Amino acid sequence: MRKLFGTDGIRGVTGTELTPEMALRLGRAIGAFFGLGSRVLVGRDVRAGGDMILSAVVSGLLAEGVKIYNAGLIPTPALQFAVREHSYDGGVMVTASHNPPEYNGIKVIDSSGVEVSREDEAIIEDYYFKGHGSRLEWRSLVDSPEVRVGLIEDYVNAIVMQVDRDEIAKHRFKVVVDCANSVSTLTTPLLLRRLGAKVISLNCHLDPEFPGREPEPTPQTLSEASSLVLSSKADIGVGHDGDADRAIMIDDKGQVHWGDRSGTLLAVHASYKWRELPRRVYTGVSSSILIEEYLKQHNITVVWTPVGSVTIARTIMNEGGAIAGFEENGGYIHVPHQYVRDGAMKLALTLDMMASLREKLSDIFAKLPVYYTLKTKIKASREEALCAVEAVKEYYSNYRMITIDGVKVFGEDFWLLVRPSGTEPIIRIMGEAKSREEISRIIDHISKFIVTKCMRGSML
């Protein structure tokens, strides 16, 4: 079966894999999906070639008689909020999120503000591979794109309404913000000023070459932000990805925390503030088992899903709601706000938690069980990645496993996940244990085992 969509949208290297010709054809397929006369909001992040790709997509949409509204440079969650709030029929966001700078991508959003379902992805793919193209009368093609303004202000206002602005402002939090040289610079500093915080910005000028750091927020890429938190005596730091739908938190001691740790704490906070929500959270298999260990103390059930915010969001919607959905990569879905991961919303909710508890962020994180996390990746074709998953299943055949997305193995004092990436030609390997030495040994051993068993590739 031919596929275009990965874990979250369509990705490719700009100009060679994701070309203007491909984007035009995609635009026609997306336009056929939404239908003649539909109203679609479009936007993009700061990546090189983004305007080229967006223009090609828009041309395809216009050729199918779609009415276009252009939001310009905008974070993905801000565009998603606008699609739902202003009753558009859909949206298209040109972004490659956390991928390296040479990548670009396309996300298709339905009227709910959530990325289209897997079933709808298949419909768009079918239009694309069949080379769909309408031959409309010229009168159907008279509309030109309209520029929309004020969407970012609307989005920031909506986030402020979700938290106790006055209580947060009393604390006059000092916040280090690493914007990754992309579109979070348009929203997060503005949001923090609205919340009465002092902003210390890093990489908050727009630059398509991402000179400050890679657009994926990790402990390695956020080392400069971590140091700045310490040197400036900030209360908290935050690092966004390229389209600002994710946020990784840095505490007052400069410790960078993965998203499943922060998500666990925020879910508990939200469960007491929004008591009407069902007492369950949804998270991908890449998240830590500490979630179950900690949340059961608060009578909150954990539902495991395949990796990907689209899957998590759609599962929450289909199963009647939740407190939250989150991922270890920093994505957090605050259900009372919108059913999509939202980096700025996550930051505001973290400040709300700190203000409510009147505790330092490092002290709040200290309440969680201690596990040590390690991640790596191996260059691999799809076939090699699938081979790796099967080899790991066989190797750990006597252990408890979850196999809904790759394979997650549970040992007595560790867990290990091996899965094909949905956006890059790599195998992702991650795990946790009670000691750094133990998880380092396990990850090193299984990585070498995979390379020997399934490929001639090399560690990245």
Positions marked catalytic: 97
Strand (E) or helix (H) holding 408: strand 407-410
CA distance 72 to 79: 10
Instruction: Tokens for 345, please give them.
Output: 């919303």
Q: Are the C-beta atoms of 347 and 260 separated by less than 8 Å?
A: no
DSSP code of residue 107: E
Contacts of 88 (CB under 8 A, 6+ apart): 39, 40, 41, 69, 82, 111
Taking the CA atoms of 175, 375, 290 and 331 in sequence, report the sign of the dihedral they define: positive
- For residue 14, list its beta bridge partners: 18
Sheet of 324-326, strand order: 301-305, 280-284, 324-326, 332-334
206: number of Cβ within 10 Å:
14
Q: Are the C-beta atoms of 334 and 148 separated by less than 8 Å?
A: no
Q: Which residue has the tokens 């009147």?
A: 358
Q: Are the C-beta atoms of 244 and 257 separated by less than 8 Å?
A: no
Q: How far is CA 35 from CA 39, 94, 142, 297, 432, in A?
A: 9, 20, 16, 49, 47
3-state helix, strand, coil in the chain (%, to 5): 40, 25, 35
Q: How far is CA 208 from CA 104, 142, 225, 342, in A?
A: 11, 33, 20, 21
Ranges of beta strands (E only) in 392-440 are: 400-402, 407-410, 414-420, 426-433
First-last CA distance in the chain: 29
Q: Which residue has the tokens 């009372």?
A: 336
DSSP code of residue 141: G
- Alpha carbon 311 to its chain centroid, in Å, reads 12
CA distance 24 to 167: 49
340: number of Cβ within 10 Å:
28
CA distance 5 to 16: 17
> Please, how many CA atoms are within 13 Å of residue 363, restricted to the half-sphere of its CB?
8
